[in-house]
Amino acid sequence: MEKHKIIIVEDDEITSLNLNMSLQKHGYSVVAVCGNAIQAKNKIATHNPDVVIIDISLQESNDGIELAKSIKQKYNIPFIYLTSYSDDDIISQAKQTEPYGYIVKPFNPSSLHATIQMALFKYQVENERKEDINSLKVDKLNLEKLLYSKRTSDKPIVPFGGDYHLDISICETFYKGKKIKLTKKENAFLRLLVAQLGLVVTFEQAMNYVWDESGATENSVRTLVWRLRNKLETDIIKNASGIGYYIEE
C-alpha cells in the first residue's frame, strides 16, 4: 500500500520532531520538514505531497496563514493547521483559507491520524464531485446538434411547450409568433431546456452552461428561473425537486 506523503511546516524543533515520529508510526511518509514558508514552498513544488501540516504562527507571525493562501491558489493540495491559538481573530483569518482540519497543540497522536484521514477523505470526495460536475457539462456544439435534431421541418424552428417555438438560426424564442425579449442568460437556459425536452436539466448543468464566470450557485439558477417564468406566457418550466428543471416533451 502506497504511503501518503506529508510535509510538516513547523518552526519549533521539538514539535516538528514529535510530529515526524508520530506520522511515521502511523505509516505516513514525511518527505520534508520545513521551518519557514519559503522553504515549504520549494519543498511542496518538489515533492507534491498529499497533505501539508502548517503551524499557523510560523516565526511568531501569520506566515502559516499566508502559506496556506499560496497553497490554495497554486496547488490542489489539502492542508491542515497546527495551532496553540484560541484567539478569535487569528482563527477567523485561518477559516477564510478553508483548511481541511485543525490540530491543537499539544497534539494527540490518535487525533492527528484521525484528522489527516478525514482531510484525505474530504479531499477525495471534493475531487470526485468536481469530476461529476465536469461530466455533466453540456458542450455548446452538442447542444446545437440536439436542437437541430428537434426541428419538425427543414426550417430552423423547434416547437415546445404548446405555442412556443425557438428559432435556432437567430437564437430567439417566440410565443404564438411574438418574440419574447430575454436576457443572454435567460436565453441560454431556455435553449438548454429545449435541447433536452422531457429531461431534467440539473443545477450543475445550468451553472456550467449558462454562467461563463465562476461563482454561480443553485440560488443563481433559481433566481434565473423565477425571472424567466415571469416573462413566459404560460408556466411550462417544471420543477424536479432538489435536482433542477425541465420542460415536458
HEC per residue, 125-171: HHHHHHHHHHHCCCCHHHHHHHHHHCCCCCCCEEEECCCEEEECCCC
Distance of CA 80 to the CA centre of its chain: 19
pLDDT at 87 over 70: no
Per-residue pLDDT band at 61 (split at 50, 70, 90): low
pLDDT at 82 over 80: yes
- The Cα 35–Cα 13 span in angstroms is 8
Q: What is the pLDDT of residues 21-39, one digit of tens each?
A: 999 999 999 999 999 889 9
Q: Are strands 51-55 and 5-9 parallel, antiparallel or unpaired?
A: parallel
pLDDT at 131 over 80: no
Q: Which residue ranges make up each domain of the chain?
A: 5-132, 140-247
Element (H, E) at 98: none
Q: Is the dihedral of CA 172, 173, 179, 184 positive or negative?
A: negative
C-alpha distances in angstroms, 218 versus 82, 197, 223, 240, 245? 34, 21, 9, 13, 12
Strand partners, 201: 245
Total-model pTM = 0.56
CATH classification of 140-247, choosing from 1.20.120.1760, 3.40.50.300, 1.10.10.10, 2.40.160.40? 1.10.10.10
C-alpha cell at 152: 419538425
User: Other CB atoms closer than 10 Å to residue 14's CB: what's the count?
Assistant: 8
CATH classification of 5-132, choosing from 1.10.8.80, 3.40.50.720, 3.30.70.1230, 3.40.50.2300? 3.40.50.2300
